[in-house]
Structure 1
Amino acid sequence: MTAVLHAPANADHVVRMTGVHKSFGDARRSITALHGIDLTVRPGEFVCLLGASGCGKTTLLNLIAGLDKPSQGTIELSGSRPAVMFQEAALMPWLTAAGNVELPLRLAGVDRATRRERGRELLDLVRLGNVGGKRPHELSGGMRQRVALARALASALGASDDDASASLLLMDEPFSALDAITRDVLQSELLRVWESTGAAVVFVTHDVREAVRLGQRVVLLSSRPGRVVQEWTTDQSTSDGSGLVEAINRRLREVISDHASA
């Protein structure tokens, strides 16, 4: 059975995947990207998906976002449709920063005064309140990603924060193209914004340290086909997270080695 279901907004989860499989191609030449994924994300939870390149992390995110459909299994969503933030900011070059942030609200039919006020609030939240009139080419890479984050929040949260607990933000390696210093800053900013909004986050990364720093829970996928092989909560780590980083790295090396020898 294949289905995408919608749970009540007050459900105990924002997304629940049960027995999810995803294959590409016809029966003779099909490639299985995901196999038997069971994953639940609770309201307000920050979950990091970790795994080697090609393990199906982005495919899983696309299924949650509704950009693709599972071959088998069910995906149950509560609240509004998830918002997605990609590795590239993908801002509209002809719009200002404020215009980019307001775009999802405009498409949702929010009136001009409300969306402008909301856009200002979200730009202030990502500490870009003074660049609303600038266009993307006038901003640094880190600033463009902040604008993209504000736009994703506009899509996820809508015109107010009243239903933030049912909101879900999907992030596909959004900081991987940035330099180390900018990446460090934006990781801190993301945690601050997440704590401020209360939205749930599913964050895809191949960086173990990033996963441990950001996530409350780290979910490791096997190499293709992607399966959930282990999960960790970050309170299992030492004060600086080094113990958990090493444990996850060790398990990741095992998963990659097992795949290579198969």
Structure 2
Amino acid sequence: MAVALENAVGTEHAVRLEGLHKVFGAGRQAVTALDGIDLAVRPGEFVCLVGASGCGKTTLLNLIAGLEQPTSGRITLTTSRPAVMFQEHALMPWLTVNRNIELPLRLAGVGRAERAARVTELLSLVRLEGTGRKRPHELSGGMRQRVALARSLASAIQGSADGKHALMLMDEPFSALDAITRDLLQAELLRVWRATGTAVVFVTHDVREAVRLGQRVVLLSSRPGRVVDEWDVNGLTGADELVAVDTIGAKLREVISTHAAA
């Protein structure tokens, strides 16, 4: 199957994956990471990917972001440049907060006045007003991740063809934080997501986090990664949320144990 990377503004999805395969290496050394992934994410939708370590979740994000090329299959995007947010904040330590956030805008050729206005808006959005002249080492871990979030939003919105159908890819961005900071940033992410309407594909090992954040949870099998099941978890609270966590957790354990026994 030929590889096709397309921009398709006006479609009903932010990203669509069709028959996506990824093989690393060749011959006897070949390793199939993903095997026939079909997945669509609507504009503004928050989708969480869960699965065992090594199941291809990060590879899937890298393919959507264009950091890797699929072996076969089709990736259709409504944005020319999805933004990626990793576990590590990856801020430039020699740049101020303002300069870190505006970096993708500068690379895209956005003028100075517009960059400054966007940075001010984004700092307000992530509740970091007054920190623009600080450098990353002067901030807490949670604040640095907020700066990374603001930078990713700048990149996602700038990369969207119409400024509205933005896509952000998040690879366990809160896993290195302490539990209290993680809870706070999960709430902040939901607030920012609702305010911006950005589509999000969020990778996590934590089923509870996936159910809390996502509108939909997609489970990948152990390697090679395939879509095993998915659940609509939008708006669940209280007992319903706990039931969803238990159901998805049990299915994840089943997938892991089946792979281990094979």
Shorter-chain TM-score: which interval?
A: over 0.9
Is this contact kept in 1: 2:49–2:201, CA < 8 A? Answer: yes
Tell me what 2:228 maps to. 229
Question: How do 1:78-157 and structure 2 match up within 5 A?
Answer: 78-157=78-157
Give 3-state SS (helix, strand or coil) of 1:2's partner.
coil
- The corresponding residue for 2:71 is 71
Which residue does the alignment assign to 2:253?
A: 253
Evaluate the alpha carbon distance shift between residue 25 and residue 161 of structure 1 in structure 2; reply closer, same or farther with a 3 A threshold.
Answer: closer
**1:87-108: CA deviation from partner (whole Å, max 9, x where unpaired):** 0000001110011000000000
Corresponding residue of 1:208: 207
The answer to whether structure 1 residue 33 and structure 2 residue 11 are counterparts is: no
**Cα shift readout 1:83-140 (whole Å, capped 9, x = no counterpart):** 0000000000111001100000000001111101101110110000110110000000
Q: Does 1:173 align with 2:180?
A: no
Q: Distance in 2 between matches of 1:74 and 1:204?
A: 21
Instruction: Say if 2:79 and 2:161, in contact at 8 Å, map to a contact too.
Output: no
Q: Distance in 2 between matches of 1:28 and 1:2?
A: 23
**Number of aligned positions between the proteins:** 261
- Bigger shift: 4-13 or 239-248? 4-13
Q: Deviations over 1:213-240 (max 9, x none)?
A: 0000000000111110000010485535
Query: Aligned residue for 1:57?
Result: 57
Dislocated runs of 4+, deviation >6 Å: 159-162
Q: Percent identity?
A: 69
SS in 1 for 2:3: strand
Three-state SS of the structure 2 residue aligned to 1:19 is strand
Cross-structure match for 1:185: 184
What is the TM-score with the length of structure 2 in the denominator? 0.96
Q: Tell me, which stretches of 5 or more residues in structure 1 are unaligned?
A: none
Following the alignment from structure 1 to structure 2, what is the Cα–Cα distance between the partners of residues 157 and 40? Answer: 20
Distance 1:161 1:135, change over 3 A: farther
CA distance in 2, matches of 1:135, 1:39: 39
Distance 1:225 1:236, change over 3 A: farther
Aligned AA (2:211): V
- 2:9–2:79 contact (8 Å) kept in structure 1: yes
* Aligned partners of 2:78 and 2:160 also within 8 Å: no
Specify the alignment match of 2:13 in structure 1.
Answer: 13
Quickly say closer, same or farther: Cα 1:81–1:4, change in 2 above 3 A.
farther
What is the SS of the residue equivalent to 1:255? helix
CA distance in 1, matches of 2:157, 2:187: 20
Note if contact 1:222-1:229 (Cα within 8 Å) is conserved in structure 2: yes
Q: Distance in 1 between matches of 2:108 and 2:194?
A: 25
Q: CA RMSD for the aligned pairs?
A: 1.6
